């Protein structure tokens, strides 16, 4: 059957369709299986990367998106290039998409590809039908869905129908998703297929399927992919309400920790979206006049809208204000929630340490060095304080990262002023601390220390430090004992800010 299909440049490609599953099979002396082209003038051939020495891989189990990692995986890149090169029809619709926790898609992990074909164009529909039949039909060796199995295909959607490896016995079924997929073929791969561990690329079938990263908390992305996992994932659980300040770092809702910086001299507030790996992408101005505050603290949601908010103390009056986050990295009009807060020289968001679902606040009294816990109430209004301990004036930096050691209680780092020693205080679940251990030396080299959510995929909060002499920022991954490990460079030029959050 002959037909024509529009090219991206406005011309037409003439092709002759012959189903790939009925194409002739040629075996080279080296043993390489090659399916000959079913399209006249095709730019390439759909051939395995190596000689296949085993039966096809088992049908891929469904492993839906769990992480935020929109980086093209090698198996998808190779599949796209192979198919586009073979057919020379349609266009590349992309592999990755921006992360959105409410709309799961393997595109957000670089494990899915869209091939733009028009099912209403007879020629392009024939190409889409040919490819999907080649994937899911009987291959040249008589194996059912052999090519899909060797490539690690989880499912394919095309022209109002879906084929799933996890339900291959049912064949192609009607698809009723939001998009009818009449304008593109969608292919999602397993983790083994995405990383080219299947027999199409290795010649040997995968012995045990990789289940991928496991979600820890309901409604949150899993830690980043760090290698194959073969044991089943335990059920995700609700995040403990007293995990601390981790929820206060994603200001634009993309699942990544962000940074706020106040420019010294001008009071301009800058928003730095995080890149998910400890760095930032292009910054933008989100406010001016912030020099009126001498202390600012990011907090988990104070106003009930699910977004991180900001406590700020007025320089002149000591009034405490709440600035609601707007979900884009900026803040809306403030509400005053307290007076007389100049009695404290350090404020820290404690997370919910009282178990009532509302964020709390730690504050160090300027005159005595006492540490106080202010339980939160609706709207971010601190209530009557509880005494936590004395002697805290020995520290010149107090950092509240949330739960570092995994016991569900908010912890604290503190730097000793006279020695630069960093101490880790393990939380007791009531706003106080059980133990204190030194976890590092030489921390006086940094003039600013700020906590951040997990940047390394181990589920623990990490630590940023700005080097005093250069203004460079470094990311310190942490261990379960609260010990920061070898730093990673996180950018230069941060000395322009007198406050970093």
Instruction: Name the one residue in this structure whose structure tokens are 């964020």.
Output: 359
Task: Tell me which of 184-193, 358-367, 422-431, 448-457 is least confident.
Answer: 448-457
The pLDDT, as a whole number, for residue 8 is 28
Query: 155, 189, 218 — which closes off a domain?
Result: 218
DSSP 245-271: GGGGS-SSSSSS--EEEEETTT--EEE
The pLDDT, as a whole number, for residue 236 is 86
In a domain, 60, yes or no: no
- At residue 210, does pLDDT exceed 90? yes
For residues 406 and 322, membership in a common domain is answered with: yes
The pLDDT, as a whole number, for residue 248 is 66
> What average pLDDT does range 400-411 have in this prediction?
86
> What average pLDDT does range 426-451 have in this prediction?
91
Whether residue 402 contacts residue 243, with contact meaning beta carbons closer than 8 Å, is answered with yes
pLDDT tens digits, one per residue of 111-126 = 999 999 999 999 999 9
**Structure token pair of residue 22:** 């009925």
Q: Which residues of 278-308 are buried (b: 16+ CB within 10 A; e: fewer)?
A: bbbeeeeebbeebbebebbbbbbbbbeeebb
The pLDDT, as a whole number, for residue 456 is 78
Instruction: Name the one residue in this structure whose structure tokens are 């022209």.
Output: 159
pLDDT tens digits, one per residue of 276-309 = 878 888 899 999 999 999 999 999 888 888 889 9
For residues 421 and 303, membership in a common domain is answered with: yes
Taking residue 34's Cβ as centre, other Cβ atoms within 10 Å add up to 16
Q: How far apart are CA 286 and CA 331, in angstroms?
A: 8
For residues 263 and 189, membership in a common domain is answered with: no
- At residue 44, does pLDDT exceed 50? no
Whether residue 145 contacts residue 155, with contact meaning beta carbons closer than 8 Å, is answered with no
Task: Tell me which of 7-21, 172-186, 321-335, 436-450 is least confident.
Answer: 7-21
Helix (H, G, I), strand (E, B) or coil at 122: helix
- At residue 458, does pLDDT exceed 90? no
- At residue 205, does pLDDT exceed 80? yes
In a domain, 381, yes or no: yes
pLDDT tens digits, one per residue of 127-172 = 999 999 999 999 888 999 999 999 999 999 999 999 999 999 999 9
The pLDDT, as a whole number, for residue 305 is 87
For residues 484 and 394, membership in a common domain is answered with: yes
The pLDDT, as a whole number, for residue 290 is 95
Task: Tell me which of 7-16, 36-45, 137-146, 192-201 is least confident.
Answer: 7-16
Mean pLDDT of the chain: 85
In a domain, 379, yes or no: yes
The pLDDT, as a whole number, for residue 45 is 53
The pLDDT, as a whole number, for residue 138 is 92
> What average pLDDT does range 202-224 have in this prediction?
88
- At residue 17, does pLDDT exceed 90? no
Query: 151, 186, 218 — which closes off a domain?
Result: 218
The pLDDT, as a whole number, for residue 246 is 45
For residues 114 and 199, membership in a common domain is answered with: yes
CATH number reported for the structural domain that contains residue 473 in this entry:
2.120.10
Taking residue 170's Cβ as centre, other Cβ atoms within 10 Å add up to 10
Number of domains the chain is built from: 2
For residues 154 and 285, membership in a common domain is answered with: no
Q: How far apart are CA 18 and CA 127, in angstroms?
A: 10
Select from 6, 23, 3 the least CA-distant residue to 15: 3
**What is the domain extent for residue 155?**
74-218
For residues 333 and 476, membership in a common domain is answered with: yes
Q: What's the gap between Cα 35 and its chain centre? A: 39
By DSSP bridging, strand 173-174 and strand 184-189 are unpaired
pLDDT tens digits, one per residue of 329-383 = 999 999 999 999 999 999 999 888 877 778 899 999 999 999 999 999 988 999 9
In a domain, 139, yes or no: yes
Q: What's the gap between Cα 438 and its chain centre? A: 31
Q: How far apart are CA 175 and CA 244, in angstroms?
A: 42
In a domain, 425, yes or no: yes
- At residue 242, does pLDDT exceed 60? no
Q: How far apart are CA 136 and CA 9, in angstroms?
A: 31
Q: Is the pTM of this model over 0.75?
A: no
- Of residues 8 and 150, more confidence is placed in 150
- Of residues 204 and 2, more confidence is placed in 204
For residues 310 and 203, membership in a common domain is answered with: no
* Banded pLDDT at 392 (limits 50, 70, 90): very high
The pLDDT, as a whole number, for residue 148 is 96
**CA distances, 190 to each of 96, 196, 204, 209, 433 (Å):** 15, 10, 16, 9, 44
In a domain, 20, yes or no: no
DSSP 449-494: EEEE--SSSSSS-EEEEEETTT--EEEE-B-TTS-B-S-EE--S-G
The pLDDT, as a whole number, for residue 48 is 80
Select from 356, 338, 150 the least CA-distant residue to 242: 356
The pLDDT, as a whole number, for residue 102 is 61
For residues 200 and 339, membership in a common domain is answered with: no
For residues 263 and 329, membership in a common domain is answered with: yes
Query: 164, 188, 218 — which closes off a domain?
Result: 218
For residues 271 and 210, membership in a common domain is answered with: no
Q: How far apart are CA 466 and CA 424, in angstroms?
A: 19
DSSP 182-242: SSEEEEEE-HHHHTT-SHHHHSS--SS--------BTTSPPPPP-S---SPPPPPBPPPTT
Select from 280, 312, 314 the least CA-distant residue to 489: 280
In a domain, 338, yes or no: yes
Proportion of the chain in helix, strand, coil states, percent, rounded to 5: 15, 30, 55
Whether residue 424 contacts residue 416, with contact meaning beta carbons closer than 8 Å, is answered with no
For residues 153 and 289, membership in a common domain is answered with: no
* Banded pLDDT at 82 (limits 50, 70, 90): very high
Whether residue 292 contacts residue 314, with contact meaning beta carbons closer than 8 Å, is answered with yes
* Banded pLDDT at 239 (limits 50, 70, 90): low
Taking residue 2's Cβ as centre, other Cβ atoms within 10 Å add up to 10
In a domain, 160, yes or no: yes
């Amino acid at each position: 059957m002959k037909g024509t299909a529009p090219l991206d440049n406005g011309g037409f490609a003439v092709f002759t369709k012959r189903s790939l599953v009925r194409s002739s099979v040629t075996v080279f002396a080296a043993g390489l299986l090659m399916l000959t082209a079913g399209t006249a003038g095709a730019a390439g051939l759909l051939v395995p990367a190596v000689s296949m020495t085993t039966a096809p891989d088992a049908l891929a189990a469904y492993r839906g998106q769990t992480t935020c990692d929109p980086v093209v995986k090698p198996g998808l890149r190779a599949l796209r290039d192979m198919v586009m090169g073979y057919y020379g029809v349609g266009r590349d619709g992309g592999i990755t998409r921006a992360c959105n926790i409410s709309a799961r898609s393997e595109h957000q992990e670089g494990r899915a590809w869209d091939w733009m074909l028009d099912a209403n164009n007879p020629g392009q529909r024939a190409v889409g039908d040919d490819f999907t039949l080649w994937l899911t039909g009987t291959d040249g060796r008589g194996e059912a869905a052999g090519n899909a199995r060797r490539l690690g295909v989880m499912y394919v959607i095309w022209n109002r129908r879906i084929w799933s490896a996890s339900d291959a016995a049912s064949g192609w079924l009607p698809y009723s998703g939001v998009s009818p997929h009449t304008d593109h073929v969608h292919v999602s791969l397993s983790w083994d297929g995405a990383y080219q561990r299947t027999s199409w690329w290795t010649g040997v079938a995968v012995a045990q399927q990789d289940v991928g990263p496991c979600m820890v908390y309901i409604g949150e992305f899993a830690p980043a992919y760090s290698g194959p996992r073969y044991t089943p994932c335990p059920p995700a659980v609700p995040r403990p309400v007293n995990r601390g300040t981790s929820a206060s770092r994603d200001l634009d809702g993309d699942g990544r920790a962000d940074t706020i910086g106040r420019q010294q001299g001008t009071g301009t507030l800058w928003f730095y979206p995080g890149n998910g790996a400890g760095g930032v992408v292009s910054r933008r101005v989100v406010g001016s006049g912030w020099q009126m505050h001498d202390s600012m603290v990011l907090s988990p949601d104070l106003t009930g809208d699910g977004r991180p908010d900001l406590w700020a103390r007025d320089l002149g009056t000591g009034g405490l204000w709440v600035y609601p986050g707007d979900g884009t990295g900026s803040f809306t009009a403030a509400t005053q929630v307290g007076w007389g807060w100049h009695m404290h020289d350090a404020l820290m968001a404690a997370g919910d340490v009282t178990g009532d679902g509302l964020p709390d606040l730690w504050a160090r009294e300027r005159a005595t060095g006492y540490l106080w816990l202010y339980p939160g109430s609706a709207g971010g209004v601190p209530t009557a304080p509880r005494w936590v301990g004395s002697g805290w004036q020995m520290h010149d930096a107090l950092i509240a990262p949330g739960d570092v050691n995994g016991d569900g209680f908010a912890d604290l780092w503190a730097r000793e002023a006279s020695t630069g020693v960093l101490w880790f205080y393990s939380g007791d679940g009531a706003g106080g601390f059980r133990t204190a251990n030194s976890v590092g030396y030489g921390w006086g080299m940094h003039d600013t220390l700020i906590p951040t959510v997990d940047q390394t995929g181990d589920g623990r909060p990490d630590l940023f430090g700005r080097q005093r002499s250069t203004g460079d920022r470094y990311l310190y991954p942490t261990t379960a004992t609260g010990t920061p490990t070898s730093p990673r460079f996180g950018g230069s030029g941060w000395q322009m800010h007198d406050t970093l959050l």
